[in-house]
Structure 1
Amino acid sequence: MFTKERLAFVAAMIFAVHPLAGETVNFHAGGRNTLLCASFALLSLLLYTKGKHILAVVCFTCAIFSKEFALLLPLVFLFHDYRLQQKKVRFSTYIPYFISIVCYLALRSVAVQKANFLETIRFSKQLWLTPYLVVRYLLNMIYPFQLKVMYDESTTIPLCILCLLVVILLTGIVFIYRRDKELSFSVYWFLIFLLPVVNIIPLVSNSLIADRYAYFSLMGFALGVATFICKTDKRGMTVIMVIICTVYARADIRQNNVWKDDETLFTRMANDAPEMFVGYRNLGLYYYNRSDRANAERYIAIACSKPDIPPLFLTGAASIFVETNRLDTAEELLIKALKQDSANPEPYVLLNMIYEQKGNKQLADSYLSKAREAIPAFEEEVTRMAEVFCREGEKFIAEHEYIHAKNILWRALLAKPNFVPALIDMGRLGYEQDDFATATRYLEQALALDPSNAAAKSTLNLVHQKQGKTTGSREK
């Protein structure tokens, strides 16, 4: 963009080794779309600066279909033309890019449920947090040695006012140094790509801050730092870069070790944000998947004590405690869940079952009555919920996540004890795990309820065939 190879190299090197970028690379589920988007966006920008607009539009389209961050790229094109190249702006140049945006938004509205982009835009009721978030990201870039996996941020109005002054100062730098193309462009890039993640439009996330959100803005920061470094002589630049790369590399190694396995990651998550439920929930489910019931119950109980715990997880946690016969704990969680969300049928069903097991028939029936009052189509909702659980269970079986599958199918049977699809799925789960006795029991129960069910018959035949082969191989 500036035809300065030294500047390009230094900026690229800072960006490549900066610890803040580590989460985007390590967190596959949340980062790979950002990496794809960044690759296509930068390629589009490169092609745009070379005047290859058709290829630039193709790459831009790939970028926005990777992640919506790239929707801001035309603003970069505009800045490039108007400020860097000082061209007369011709809006016809940008029409193909806006056609791509319109096509993307139209396809998105069809492909994603409740995804009308314009209708989903709602400005945050906590806009006063925006300056704080901008400054927080900037500080993480300047001093990236106390990064977190999960940020539990709290702030005050005076601190946000102070941060607002810092943001105004940054904006002033753009104006004062507007003749310094590299510096003004770096600040512009830094600020423009923070717009989607600084709570102007509320984020649907457990945390307001995440390192991966700042991946694009980090490019602007790297260019800004490189601009100052390149003002020194060659020897000074070399010394500074060696120091920066050495320090950043050590921080990278330490931070990357956090991602080596789930237990380490979730433990760090809980330590970073001890007042949030998500780290403890993940730890609890991690141990549950490994049949370590003591640690699973311990961390799930801690998660359920946090103020941000959602009612759906309270209900899911209660089903685990029902499975381990800790009915009193399950009862407490279900009552708490109902106080937060009285329209969910599952807590009523589980409470009814718990009180029946405790021999309190009157209280058990009272919860069914409450359910029918709160949810007019209660029986239909229970059936629908069981069907959803079965679909999730089948997905987990296909992915060989057998512990998850067992828990979700168990919840389906708690909701509807004689639900034939859930019984068949439980039989299939037993078949996959070579637990032939369990598989046969569930499948025979399904056939007793629905003798002509083809799925139950075929799965039971598979169980018998596999059981025969296994028995035969053992005899040999």
Structure 2
Amino acid sequence: MNRLHRTSSKTGLGGITEYCRLNCNRPFTSHIIYIFTLSIMTILVFGNSLKNKFVYDDNILLVGNPTYKYFDTWKLLFTPFNPANGVEYLPVRDVSYAIDYFVWGENPVGFHLSNIIIYIFTGIICYFFSFKLLSILKNDSLQNESLNETCFVSFIITLFFIIHPIHSQVVSFIIQRNALLSAFFFFLTLYVYLLFEQSENIKMKIIFYCLALLFCLLALFSKATSVTLPILLLIITTFNKNNKTWSARMLQLAPFFLMGLMAFRLISSVARHTNVIKSNLIEFGAYSLTTKLATAIQIPCFYIYKLFVPFNLAPEYDIAFAKNFLSFAVVGALGATVFAFWYAWKNREKSPYLLFCLCWLFITLAPVLNLMPTQPVVADRYAYLPSYAFCFALSILLYRTAKLRHEIWLKAVCLFYLATLSGVAFYENTIWKDEKTLFTTMIQRAPHISKGYANLGYVYFNEKQYDKAFGLLQRAYQLDPTKPDYELKRGMIAFRKNNLEEAIGYYKKALAINEQSMAANYFMGISYSRLGDYKSALSALQNVLDSTDADTNSFKYKTMLNMNLYIYPKLKPELDVLRASTLQNPDDLGIRRKLADTLLQYGMLDEALGQYQEVEKRNNTDWQALFSMAKIYRHKKDWQTAMNYVKQALSLKPQEEVLLSEMGILHMAIHNTSEAIMWFGRISPKKHELYALSRYYTAVCYFQRGNREKAEYYFGLVDQNYPEMKLKTAPYTKKLAAL
């Protein structure tokens, strides 16, 4: 008691360290041995990743990024809707990249070394957390275990965790630093919170609680999936029988849930703003609850299989999940899940670890069950935190079996399995050596995914091996008709040779395949600008700003720069004349409308909106002005205001097909597909182009709702009557054919 009293009186890090040492309930030297062993194993298994280069998204989001390169603190921390990598607002990860840049420059060895160091520290915290967790989950069959045995089981759990091959993607792929950091702070939060719960000293309780809040915040801003952390804290405190009431537990956890909710709202808003969460995802039943649930039910089974048999791992998988809720795969997966939870609940007193592991697995998988549609649907990195549940359950099962039977062959099998996992992980790291090894392996292991072919094609294109490059790009398009990479690269060759009209032809073909392609719109705009066609250039560049694709190449920034430096100065004289005429004749609505229309055409939305509002004040029966304002608000993604203006226009022009089509498009944007179908159905066949688009959009709505029969009917109708639209329908019909 005197030693504990002296420790409690200390403050600062030294006091906390001494407190932890005395309260781990086992010899300090044994901790050092296990930590040293885990660290050495991590280095032996993952040390070969130091030879790897920057690959894949590293070269797009990290290499050469000025925010990291010049340690732009303001953009790193305080511009969530203009994040450092243009995609995600994760300031903890971004600061770590900036530190790496400061220390290593653009040497990939340094970045890989940082990943390994973070992984080592995660293993150490995982070990201490496992030891604390085992003391909570002890039951009648385990209560007689010595402290040495408990600590040994903690070591085995952590050993399985750190050598598992499914973690190779997280450690070897630098851009997955977010997963590494979030797991480190995730385990640290849980461990420190348990120290808070078990401490009896008020000062230490306050320190541990504040540290847990800090680490939780760091986890949340390392990776969005850390939003599950408060739920795990609640689960663990439920298993921790410390006689606290539910109200007391919830009061303690309230700040964690509040932080999690606020972080989720911010990060998801940024993801929508940067189009990480897509509004036009081409995935059958993407916005149908039953279809999404069918996929979500199957995903845990996929990961459990990969955790048991971690072979043939792939950077991305071409697995197709059943979409029908009543299919054998869905019913079987649901039945297995229900049975597992029923069995775990029934045996919760005898084997509480089983229920805990199931809760951990499903809670940490919840953010990646594709309920918010993103791509890819499944990936090894998504299993990083969930894999702890597998390692925990497997270690307990093997230890208890070996203890009961004392069979030497069982221990030999365990050692062989550990060695196999280590060997597979060591080999998987070599796949990430460079882009050729990575994408060649992706093609071998996921031959029906277009990304492998497209990215390997880019590699050969950069090496000027054009025959190989275009062969791979053609194959990529056959697999995914939404990817116009072949036309883009053909256009790039023509662009470099200054054959601008030829380049524009290829870019138009690319846009026929994917009208949202930022690259095609951007380079087409630059080509038009060099030809002196500034109006066409501005139209193409405006499409870049309106695109819903993720801006991973800073096209929007480059577009604004080109528009302000080269395009607007050429168009300024015309606008100045119109502005002067408007000032001289403020009541002439014809001149004001012409100025507003020109501003809208040139993408000057705010000024155009102001002029249209002036027109509306003087003449509220101008339905075209109302429609133009609706288009401006659609560009701003203010769907409700846009709808209100279209409704006003419809009250003046009830049968105007362009307004009916616009209303349908707006309802599609908010995924109200039933309303969208109704509006598209009101368009007359006499309006050929609008009617063709209405049939196409109707088919897309049924596709998004998961109604295969009607989607196939309407896509077939479009293909038969409007063959010029086959490039638009191809991605959808291919998906339907694969069901």
Scaled by the length of structure 1, the TM-score of the pair is: 0.68
What is the CA deviation profile of residues 256-300 of structure 1, one whole-angstrom value per residue up to 9, with x for unaligned ones? Answer: 221111101011112222222211111111122223333222222
1:384 is displaced (CA, Å) by: 4.4
The amino acid that maps onto 2:539 is E
What is the CA deviation profile of residues 333-369 of structure 1, one whole-angstrom value per residue up to 9, with x for unaligned ones? Answer: 8436325538989579969x89xx9xxxxxxxxxx9x
Q: Is the 8 A contact 1:34 1:66 kept in 2?
A: yes
1:220 paired with 2:389, answer yes
Q: Is the 8 A contact 2:507 2:520 kept in 1?
A: no
Would the alpha carbon gap of residues 320 and 344 (structure 1) be closer, same or farther in structure 2, given more than 3 Å must change? closer
CA–CA distance in structure 1, aligned partners of residues 262 and 161 of structure 2: 32
Mapping of residues 169-248 of structure 1, within 5 Å: 169-179=339-349, 180-202=351-373, 204-205=374-375, 207-233=376-402, 236=407, 238-248=411-421
In structure 2, what is the equivalent of residue 322 of structure 1? 494
Would the alpha carbon gap of residues 144 and 200 (structure 1) be closer, same or farther in structure 2, given more than 3 Å must change? same
Structure 1: 4+ residue segments shifted above 6 A: 109-113, 115-123, 324-330, 342-345, 385-389
Match of 1:100 among 239, 245, 259: 259
The amino acid that maps onto 2:439 is F
1:142 paired with 2:308, answer yes
Match of 1:131 among 283, 297, 305: 297
Q: Is the 8 A contact 2:165 2:424 kept in 1?
A: yes
Would the alpha carbon gap of residues 78 and 119 (structure 1) be closer, same or farther in structure 2, given more than 3 Å must change? farther
The amino acid that maps onto 1:335 is K
In structure 2, what is the equivalent of residue 381 of structure 1? 539
Q: Is the 8 A contact 1:314 1:337 kept in 2?
A: no
Would the alpha carbon gap of residues 270 and 118 (structure 1) be closer, same or farther in structure 2, given more than 3 Å must change? closer
In structure 2, what is the equivalent of residue 47 of structure 1? 192
Would the alpha carbon gap of residues 304 and 106 (structure 1) be closer, same or farther in structure 2, given more than 3 Å must change? closer
Would the alpha carbon gap of residues 153 and 341 (structure 1) be closer, same or farther in structure 2, given more than 3 Å must change? same
Would the alpha carbon gap of residues 155 and 241 (structure 1) be closer, same or farther in structure 2, given more than 3 Å must change? same
The amino acid that maps onto 1:59 is F
1:166 is displaced (CA, Å) by: 1.6
CA–CA distance in structure 2, aligned partners of residues 227 and 162 of structure 1: 27
CA–CA distance in structure 2, aligned partners of residues 112 and 75 of structure 1: 22
SS of 2:153 mapped into structure 1:
helix
In structure 1, what is the equivalent of residue 169 of structure 2? 23
In structure 2, what is the equivalent of residue 455 of structure 1? none
Would the alpha carbon gap of residues 331 and 168 (structure 1) be closer, same or farther in structure 2, given more than 3 Å must change? farther
Would the alpha carbon gap of residues 112 and 200 (structure 1) be closer, same or farther in structure 2, given more than 3 Å must change? closer
What is the CA deviation profile of residues 199-243 of structure 1, one whole-angstrom value per residue up to 9, with x for unaligned ones? Answer: 2222x21x3111110111100110010110120345657534422
Would the alpha carbon gap of residues 330 and 86 (structure 1) be closer, same or farther in structure 2, given more than 3 Å must change? farther
User: After alignment, is 106-115 or 156-165 more displaced?
Assistant: 106-115
Would the alpha carbon gap of residues 378 and 138 (structure 1) be closer, same or farther in structure 2, given more than 3 Å must change? same
Q: Is the 8 A contact 1:187 1:224 kept in 2?
A: no
The amino acid that maps onto 2:260 is I
Would the alpha carbon gap of residues 176 and 301 (structure 1) be closer, same or farther in structure 2, given more than 3 Å must change? same
CA–CA distance in structure 1, aligned partners of residues 503 and 329 of structure 2: 41
In structure 2, what is the equivalent of residue 294 of structure 1? 467
Would the alpha carbon gap of residues 387 and 72 (structure 1) be closer, same or farther in structure 2, given more than 3 Å must change? closer
CA–CA distance in structure 2, aligned partners of residues 131 and 11 of structure 1: 27
In structure 2, what is the equivalent of residue 161 of structure 1? 331
1:71 paired with 2:238, answer no
**Aligned-pair identity (%):** 21
Would the alpha carbon gap of residues 98 and 380 (structure 1) be closer, same or farther in structure 2, given more than 3 Å must change? same
CA–CA distance in structure 2, aligned partners of residues 297 and 318 of structure 1: 9
What is the CA deviation profile of residues 11-51 of structure 1, one whole-angstrom value per residue up to 9, with x for unaligned ones? Answer: 1111111111111111111x210110000010110001111
Q: Is the 8 A contact 2:488 2:510 kept in 1?
A: no
CA–CA distance in structure 2, aligned partners of residues 275 and 106 of structure 1: 35
* Unaligned runs of at least 5 residues, structure 2: 1-132, 136-149, 197-207, 280-285, 569-739
In structure 2, what is the equivalent of residue 338 of structure 1? 512
CA–CA distance in structure 1, aligned partners of residues 299 and 160 of structure 2: 22
CA–CA distance in structure 2, aligned partners of residues 118 and 97 of structure 1: 25
Count of residues in Structure 1 that have an aligned counterpart in Structure 2: 382
Q: Is the 8 A contact 1:152 1:276 kept in 2?
A: yes
Scaled by the length of structure 2, the TM-score of the pair is: 0.45
Match of 2:318 among 128, 144, 152: 152
CA–CA distance in structure 1, aligned partners of residues 260 and 386 of structure 2: 21
Match of 1:274 among 435, 447, 467: 447
Q: Is the 8 A contact 1:303 1:309 kept in 2?
A: no
The amino acid that maps onto 2:218 is C
Q: Is the 8 A contact 1:126 1:199 kept in 2?
A: yes
1:153 is displaced (CA, Å) by: 1.1
1:7 paired with 2:153, answer yes
* Unaligned runs of at least 5 residues, structure 1: 358-367, 397-404, 422-476
CA–CA distance in structure 1, aligned partners of residues 453 and 507 of structure 2: 16
CA–CA distance in structure 2, aligned partners of residues 55 and 62 of structure 1: 11
Q: Bigger radius of gyration, 1 or 2?
A: 2
CA–CA distance in structure 2, aligned partners of residues 331 and 302 of structure 1: 21
Match of 1:114 among 247, 257, 273: 273
User: After alignment, is 90-99 or 277-286 more displaced?
Assistant: 90-99
Would the alpha carbon gap of residues 69 and 142 (structure 1) be closer, same or farther in structure 2, given more than 3 Å must change? same
Mapping of residues 349-360 of structure 1, within 5 Å: none
